[in-house]
Structure 1
Amino acid sequence: MEQPKSIWGSDFRGVTLGIIFVVTAVAFEGLAVTTIAPGLSQELHGGHLYGWVFSAYLLAQLVGTVITGQWVDRIGPAKPFIVSISVFAIGILIAALAPGMLVLILGRILQGYGAGALINCVYTAITIRFDDSLRPQILAVFSSAYILPGLVGPYIAGLIAEHLSWRYVFWCILPFIFMSALLTTPAFRGLRASQGSDPKKGFLPSLLLAAGTGILITGLGKIPSLYGFILSLAGLVLLVFPLKKLLPEGTLLAREGLPATIASRGLFVAAYFGTQTYLVLALTALTGFSADTAGFAVASAAISWSLAANLQARLDKKDQGTGRRKRVLLGLTCMLLGVSATVPQGFITSEGFAFINAIVSQIVMGFGIGLAHPTSGAIAFSHVQDGEGGKVSSTLTVADTFTPAVGIGIGGAMIAMMETLKLSLGLGIFLALALQALIVVTSLIAATRLRGRESIVQSATKAEKW
């Protein structure tokens, strides 16, 4: 009797371990920066650029994602992986040595480009190496790779920042990058897509999208001035065309199928990271918690994310993928509850209540995205055609980077506007968190148009008959 295939079998173990090391390195860096950002922005006198610590990273990640996705389709993930992890490491080094906020943001740009390219290499390896029955398992492992960084990353980063310096956090990431490169590169060698497209075709649209988004975010931060309105409008006009070029047709309208999957995923990922960004700011700047304590609150989401991700893998194996759409909807409902609970943090003055509310809301939100994130990935990969692994991978990563950049950027602009209008920081944080709740509601609406695996299989069967 043939044994069921497993991602830990001898045929898949090398790639599985490689994926874990890459995701762990990128996740540790991302979660650590979330914790130390308030402190570093204060030390470098860049509070007005706080949102750019995250938006610059995410916009560069978008460019790296698109360019590398098409490159990987042509030659496989091995060489792009080596280039990407080198760029990522250089960005870490620049941030560790940054004398001012602008140099630090330059380091974040290189980190973002490298991280986007690395995750694209991982997604493409998943589409090439694993069939549909194994993808929920490997995507659950992908999510679980966040658990160690999620448990210890924010807390340890907070301790280092409190007792030494935030710069040491970046230095500590470099050994993880080295180990990831050493252990992952052999696993990616030999993986090839069946065909590919010219990476130059995605270069200009991705640059225009990043530039347009950056101009939009900058303009929003200058509102209510006329200059701010003009800049915001120019950015919005500039990003519309490349966004339509890079995403599946119908994504902006959440058309049924892959477009709705990408639209919903981009929105709920934006809400997750936006909520964490401004929750940490509320806990440190308003309630007076130390960076390590705020990091502990953020870490609680990673635990429930991992548990839910593994739960969805077991459920997917049991129902053979027929319940994927329902799991995404359930996950987003949980996310909405969790995110909504964080909205009052801008006005909570009790330390005890603020901390308990942060922990509980993060656990609920983490469980929700743990169900929705890997499941939406499995749905998206089920639409992959031959030779389009990198294309769909880059589309997923665009969804994971563009909307968080905009969501966090708009939240930062709201805070900047409150400062310009001489209003309270608490009101700005309240509005930024309320925006994240609205984004989840929109994602939930888009998710009602997802197509589960059973619908995709039926469509494919009909096409074959014709």
Structure 2
Amino acid sequence: MTETATAASIWDRERIWVTVGAIALIFLGAIEALAVTTVMPVVSDALDGQSLYAVAFAGTLATSVIGMVAAGAWSDARGPRGALYVAVSLFILGLLISGFAVTMHQFLIGRLVQGLGTGGQTVALYVVVARLYPSQLHGKVFAAFAAAWVVPSMIGPFLAGAVAEYVDWRWTFLGVAVLTAAAFLTIAVRLRGVDLGHGEPQDRRALVTRLLLAVVVAVLAVLVGFAAEMEPGIGWPVAAGAVLLIGFAVLPLLPRGTLRSRRGLPSVVLMRGIASGAFFASEAYVPYLLMERFGFTATWAGVGLMLSAFAWAGASELQGRFGERLGNRRIAVISTGLIVLALLCVLSAALLGLSPVLVIVGWGFAGGGMGLLYPRLTVLTLAYSDETNQGFNSSALSIADSTGSAVAIALAGLGVATLGGGAGAFGAVFVFGIALAVVAVVPGLRLGHAAETPLR
């Protein structure tokens, strides 16, 4: 390793403002994600949209797939700068539409637009990291991204709940929009003078095909969510058919062998999708459980998510320091084990009416599991990539993440609608999460090792 590489830092003069701006965007994305999870029970009640509760989560994740494909193709062909600018603009626009919505359907439109921006922003930032930072700094950058969740973990859920309870839930969206615009200016000014590469010519027909497939995946995932408004005898067949079609449509957007869990990058991408589905489908109903079953206010339900977010950030830092020593297979087994343990705790509290402390503490284990797993899978993806496919592979990882989460959340919502709410409905959601976490172990044992560097 050269002296220059050894001295390189994510905080050096060449990169500091890009680092600050990128971390700020991640920070605000974390604030928004935590806010939505906390305030959605309030929003669905205020806009009379309880039947669309799951779609409000799944729709954003579904349209993010379109943003990911577009940003990945744009980044590979022309570099990530333009893709990042457009993505952040769409994210802000979606927040504004949702914040000013007067019906649940208007709110959902905002969430769909926001998803386009969220997906594109994630992929573009990954490619910026790949192009601007040397490989030995990738682990530190993603550890910093994870650490950007720390302050939101401390204040985000509580603040979102308090704003919804004492001011107006709308400001949990409008406030983030204003702050994101400021963060965007910080990174945009600095990136103007940075060479991020110009990419390589792309096959336009292939790009159009991938975009059309992304649209199909998004529409079908939203359809699974809307199946909750149908009679169960119709909704379940519609959902099953849509999931089957999603499986076919998403294949060209992922590395070959992903659904077969081929060793290496395909298993990295598959595990991300399954683990994300297990975690986020369950988390969407944790604050709902605290409010419905245990009488928590929005403020205190937000506090209930804080431990999990703390654990996520802390585990990400540990992974950054000791991930290479632990090894990929061990991280996969530990992380999925923690998620299963968490879901067993929450399931017990939901079915047996045990103390809500068990929900809060138990869900902390899930955050720890995801904190170990998420950055490791991201670093592995970049390690399996080169300049010709960084955009495709980064978008594939995020597509699996969002598609898995969207479909799992939509199916959980359909299950809740079929069972009519209550302890049994919550129990079904968490049992579903456990099943997904167990399945995630299969690709977890086949992650392999690429050219990842020690993450210290």
Normalised TM-score (structure 1): 0.90
Match of 2:20 in 1: 17
The secondary structure found in structure 1 opposite 2:111 is: helix
Q: Aligned partner of 1:208: which letter? A: V
* Deviation at residue 129 of structure 1 after TM alignment: 2.1
Letter in 2 for 1:400: D
CA distance in 1, matches of 2:215, 2:423: 34
Does residue 215 (structure 1) correspond to residue 223 (structure 2)? The answer is yes
Whether the 8 Å CA contact 2:164–2:298 is kept in 1: the answer is yes
**Rounded Cα–Cα distance in structure 2 between residues aligned with 1:334 and 1:309:** 14
> Equivalent residues in 2 for 1:55-454 (5 A)?
55-189=58-192, 190-192=195-197, 194-195=199-200, 197=202, 198=204, 199-219=207-227, 222=230, 224-225=232-233, 227-316=234-323, 319=325, 323-350=327-354, 353-354=355-356, 356-419=357-420, 424-453=421-450
- After superposition, give the CA deviation of every residue in 1:268-323 in whole Å (9 maximum; x if it has no partner): 1222222211111100112110111111111211111111111111124x75xx82
Point out where structure 2 has 5 or more consecutive residues left out of the alignment. Answer: none
Q: Contact 1:67–1:200 at 8 Å: present in 2 too?
A: no
Counterpart of 1:195 in structure 2: which amino acid? Answer: E
The CA distance in 2 between the partners of 1:55 and 1:269, in whole Å, is 12
Note closer, same or farther for the CA distance 1:150–1:246 as it changes in structure 2 (3 Å cut).
same
Contact 1:56 1:112 in 2 (8 A): yes
* Aligned residues of 2:154 and 2:306 also touching (Cα < 8 A): yes
Q: Counterpart amino acid of 2:417?
A: A
CA contact 2:41–2:53 (8 Å) conserved in 1: yes
Displacement of 1:229: 4.2
- Give the conservation status (yes or no) of the 8 Å contact 1:196–1:388: no
* C-alpha distance 302-442 of structure 1, shift in aligned 2 (>3 A): same
Q: Does structure 1 conserve the Cα–Cα contact (< 8 Å) formed by 2:259 and 2:270? A: yes
Q: State the AA in 1 paired with 2:275.
A: F
- Equivalent residues of 1:15, 1:187 under 8 A apart: yes
Q: Per the alignment, do residues 417 and 370 of structure 1 end up closer, same or farther by CA in structure 2, a change over 3 Å counting?
A: same
Q: Is the 8 A contact 2:38 2:157 kept in 1?
A: yes
8 Å Cα contact 1:221-1:414 kept in structure 2: no
- Give, as a single letter, the amino acid of the residue that structure 1 aligns with 2:418: M
- Name the count of aligned residue pairs: 445
Post-superposition Cα deviations, 1:346-374, rounded to whole Å, max 9, x if no partner, equal 33435xx11x1122112211111111110
The answer to whether the 8 A contact 2:97-2:110 is kept is: yes
Q: Is the 8 A contact 1:22 1:184 kept in 2?
A: no
2: CA distance, partners of 1:334 / 1:193 = 42
Task: Tell me which of 8, 11, 18 is aligned to 1:5.
Answer: 8
Contact 1:221 1:412 in 2 (8 A): no
Contact 2:335 2:372 survives alignment (8 Å): yes
Structure 1 portions without partners, runs of 5+ = 458-466
1:159 offset after TM fit, Å? 0.3
Q: Distance in 1 between matches of 2:134 and 2:218?
A: 33
**Relative to structure 2, which stretch is displaced further, 395-404 or 177-186?**
177-186
Percent identity over the alignment?
27
Q: Is the 8 A contact 2:75 2:199 kept in 1?
A: no
Query: Quick one: which amino acid aligns to residue 395 of structure 2?
Result: S
Partner amino acid, structure 1, of 2:336: L
Task: After TM superposition, give the deviation of residue 218 of structure 1 in Å.
Answer: 3.0
In structure 2, how many angstroms separate the alpha carbons of the residues matched to 1:100 and 1:217? Answer: 18
1:463 equivalent in structure 2: none
In the TM superposition, residue 70 of structure 1 has moved relative to its aligned partner by 0.5
For residues 238-282 of structure 1, the C-alpha deviation after alignment (integer angstroms, 9 at most, x for no partner) is: 323221111111111211111111111111122222221111110
TM-score by length of 2: 0.92
Structure 2 residue identity aligned to 1:359: I
Give 1:411 shift: 0.7
Alpha-carbon distance, 1:237 to partner = 4.1
Report the Cα distance in structure 2 between the residues aligned to 1:42 and 1:188, rounded to whole angstroms: 42
- SS of the aligned residue for 2:8 comes to coil
Say which SS state the counterpart of residue 244 (structure 1) adopts. Answer: helix
The answer on whether the counterparts of 2:76 and 2:391 sit within 8 Å (CA) in structure 1 is yes
1:81 to 1:303, Cα distance in 2 relative to 1, 3 A: same
Q: CA deviation at 1:10?
A: 2.6
State the alpha-carbon separation in 1 of the partners of residues 116 and 352 from structure 2: 37
